Each structure stands twice: as structure tokens, then as C-alpha cells.
Amino acid sequence: KNDQGETYNFRDINLGQNLSIYGKVFRICDCDAFTREWLESEGIYVNETELIPRDPYLT
């Protein structure tokens, strides 16, 4: 559910956005070609892909 207590739907989520799920924040950086094409077919502008930040603990 979002901050207003409503469930998320595909129109609420886009690249470059933060998504809070059970108090944990996730950044949406990319999607596959099928998802991008489907969202666009639904009239949704899909933002540009973001680079995934480097994890300092893995490098």
C-alpha cells in the first residue's frame, strides 16, 4: 500500500521513482523491454533508465 493506504497499481510506478514497501524504500532503475512496451501501450511515458548505484560493500 502507498502512503495513503491505497494499493499500488502499474500507473503508480515508473523508472526513477522510490517505492516504499513495508517501510523499505526501493529505487526503480530499469525494466525489461516487454514491460517498457506494455506500459507505453497503456499510454504511460516510461522515464529514462538510471544506472544502478555501485554497492560500496561489494567493490
Instruction: Give the pLDDT confidence score for residue 2 in this predicted structure.
Output: 67
Instruction: Give the pLDDT confidence score for residue 42 in this predicted structure.
Output: 96
Q: Is the pLDDT at 1 greater than 80, yes or no?
A: no
Distance CA 30, CA 9 (A): 17
Kindly tell me the sign of the dihedral angle through the C-alpha atoms of 38, 29, 2, 44: negative
Cβ atoms of 30 and 50 closer than 8 Å: yes
Instruction: Give the pLDDT confidence score for residue 58 in this predicted structure.
Output: 85
The domain limits of the chain are 10-41
Angle at 45 between CA 41 and CA 50, to 5 degrees: 120
Kindly tell me the sign of the dihedral angle through the C-alpha atoms of 7, 5, 29, 26: negative
